Structure 1
Amino acid sequence: MINDRQFLIDVAKMKMPFGKYKGSFLIDLPEHYIVWYKNKGFPTGKLGKQMQLVYELQLNGLEDIVREIRKKF
């Protein structure tokens, strides 16, 4: 449970480290960009797992949960 909480906090604070959207918060990446990664294959490691979560959150319209977390941290 603690790890899940920390993972959400990390996603809320994480910015895209490269590419066209470098410096943008992951949760604020355009949906088409996340979907493109979903089809191409997410990066390996923690960034890929974070992007997978962003994909699921965007798919279900739950991005605001992460944005609220970001405001608190």
Structure 2
Amino acid sequence: MPYGKYKGTIIADIPVSYLEWMAGKGFSKDKMGMLLSTTFEIKTNGLGEILYMVKKQVQAARPRKGGAL
């Protein structure tokens, strides 16, 4: 998240309560708004497991720091 209370937080880790507040104010029409809106829909429809699986795959694909031999 590039701004606000949760600046620096992975969008998938933003609490539903904050996403609900943002939804009430209206999501922006840019890419960030789309990401926040999609995350809100996923979480409020009980599909948070999707976000967990995506985060797990992204973390597995990243090279590890320190270069294990």
TM-score bracket for this pair, using the shorter chain length: 0.7 to 0.9
Moved over 4 A (4+): none
Tell me how many residue pairs correspond in the alignment: 58
Partner of 2:31: 46
- Report the equivalent of 1:35: 20
TM-score (norm 2): 0.75
Aligned alpha-carbon RMSD (Å): 1.0
Which protein has greater RCO, CA pairs closer than 8 Å, 6+ apart?
Answer: 1
CA deviation after TM superposition for structure 1 residue 37, in Å: 0.8
Match of 2:3, SS state, is coil
Q: Choose 1 or 2 for highest CA Rg.
A: 2
Query: Could you tell me the TM-score, scaled by structure 1's length?
Result: 0.72
Q: Which has the higher helix share?
A: 1
- Structure 1: gaps of 5 or more residues: 1-15
The aligned runs of 1:1-73 (5 Å cut-off) are 16-73=1-58
**Which SS does the other structure have where 1:23 is aligned?**
coil
How far off is 1:43 after superposition? 2.1
